[in-house]
Chain A
Amino acid sequence: MNSQWIAFQTLVRKEVARILRIWTQTLLPPLVTQTLYFIIFGKFIGSQVGPIHGISYMSFLVPGLVMMAVINSAYSNVVSSFFGAKFQRNIEEMLVAPMHEWVIVAGYICTGIMRGIVVGILVFLVSCFFTHPAIDHIGIVIMFIILTAAVFSLAGLINGIFAKNFDEVAMFQNFILVPLIYLGGIFYSILKLPVFWQNVSKLNPLLYMVNGFRFGFFGFCDVSVIFSAGLLIFLTLVLWQVNIWLLKNGIGIKN
């Protein structure tokens, strides 16, 4: 068997073991927070909000809240695992071995996607306690969940590569990721916003992820699905290349 392929499998095995070892930090928290969102936004506030495009507010929330959990899980999985490896220096185990950069990137991204999907499924199951979500196009749901998790895993890896301390890990999440998530149309349809704010919202890549995903559920959304999918594929390719370039040049890891 090809040695790069074995190295890839080894990295994935190690990362999956990490996710399972600390499941109370990796799998449990999104379940708790998303359940709270369902209760507070969906039940308490949602009862005062009329249906959107003929769909109850609770059901409207489901794709957005699943996506939010996927994004957070994929991103934080890669950034914390990679930065942790840098911090504890066990990243050297990979650097001294003849492992190619793409194997390292692929290994982290795959496990980021895996955690994203698992958490997404768990949050979806939670939503079943509150509503009866239907899925119109399962293929589109799967595609968007994978692409979104890939984009945010790759973004998390860049963060992990550059981060010099734990503050720099948290900073991006707090100051960039969280605002993007909240303004990404998870809780509302941007078509209800004034035109100016609609246009501002369209600069937020998260809008396309949430809406493409929502299309998979309901068969409608605020933006073009094809454009959204194309954007995600484009972002994935660009971020992939950036990561490979960073690792090849030893940025952030080979002082």
Chain B
Amino acid sequence: MNAIEINNLVKIYKTGTRAVKGVNLTVAKGDFFALLGANGAGKTTIISILIGLVNKTSGSVKIFNYDIDRQFDQAKRIMGVVPQEFNFHMFEKVQDIVATQAGFYGIDRVTALTNSEEVLKKVGLWEKRSSIARTLSGGLKRRLMIARALVHKPEILILDEPTAGVDVQLRFGMWDYLRELNAGGVTILLTTHYLEEVQQMCRHAAILKEGEIVRLDSVKNLNKLIQQETYVITVRNMQPLDGIQSYAPVVIDEHTLEVNLNRDEQLNDLLIKLIQNGFAVTDVHPKEHRLERLFLSLL
């Protein structure tokens, strides 16, 4: 069964902006799916339609086969949502925010309190349960958003740029947590600008450009699409380049070289050549993210 099925989705805002222009998208149950796109591509609009914050202009959306035009209540019960911007009441207490959300989903008070305890512990906010939301740091506020989205134990978790403005350590922690949720069977759909995030976590990705999907594939295949990789090579001391001219190396500074390799060329061969020519290689790493390049080439 598909977790999310979007057919011919169109959204034209009152201002006349055509934010989504006939999007078709299917997310399988259990998938970890990324929606990529530049600012204004329409990611938030699509997500807002899925969760009932924006009315669509036309097209259809099904969540676990529940059509949002006819069975939105059932659909809403199985979705958890982490919006792009903080949208909790800043002067309420952390646990109140989470337990209230559970109540809105129709979960009785006793269960709401135990569920909120469970998720707050999970995201490391239990110690802060009585703090006023406004006093949390930005990263903790993000975690609060995630806890709130999970309090009714949804089968689909939808996150709109969940790691924006989150430091590296917290981001990694969040990735682990999302992976764990996904391994536990929760289907995840997220939007992001961080391609690393997609490569690290997601199985499928759709690239959105000006309201249209320009590419939809597995992350594996998207990676394969890149024909060339630029490697940054750090050496102890620069040597004459004569022996490695066939690689057309570019000297960046006295310790750094850049080399383009085609996918059918071996990094191994290059390293051997370098050593034979007297280079002492101390580091080799890809210059940029492959997906980033693909992404840019599509935009």
Contact = CB atoms under 8 A, between A and B. Distances in A.
Contacts of B85: 89
B88 A7 contact: no
B14 A96 contact: no
B103 A9 contact: yes
Interface string B63-82: 00000000011101101010
A82 to B, nearest CB: 13
A3 B87 contact: no
A83 to B, nearest CB: 13
Interface string B171-198: 0000000000000000000000000000
Contacts, number: 83
B100 A93 contact: yes
A255 B90 CA distance: 23
A13 interface: yes
Contacts of A255: 13-14, 54
A3 B55 contact: no
Contact of A97 (B55, B105, B108): B105
A31 to B, nearest CB: 23
Contacts of B79: 96
Interface in A1-27: 1-4, 6-7, 9-11, 13-14, 17, 21
Given A14-B100, A98-B77, A255-B13, A4 B53 contact: no
A96 B100 contact: no
B104 A93 contact: yes
B104 A94 contact: yes
Interface in B87-116: 87-92, 96, 100-101, 103-109, 112
B246 to A, nearest CB: 58
A19 to B, nearest CB: 13
B101 A97 contact: yes
A3 B105 contact: yes
Given A7-B103, A9-B103, A90-B89, A96 B52 contact: yes
A254 B54 contact: yes
A141 interface: no
Contacts of A4: 106
Interface string B222-235: 00000000000000
Nearest to A21: B91
A254 B51 CA distance: 11
A90 B87 contact: yes
B76 A96 contact: yes
A2 B73 CA distance: 13
Highest count of chain B CB atoms <10 Å: which of A10, A11, A17? A10
7 contacts: A3-B105, A3-B106, A7-B103, A10-B103, A17-B96, A93-B87, A96-B79
Rank and list the top 6 A-B pairs by shortest CB-CB distance, nearest first.
A3-B106, A10-B103, A98-B73, A97-B104, A89-B87, A98-B76
Given A10-B112, A95-B52, 9 more contacts: A6-B103, A7-B105, A13-B103, A14-B96, A14-B100, A89-B87, A97-B105, A97-B106, A250-B55
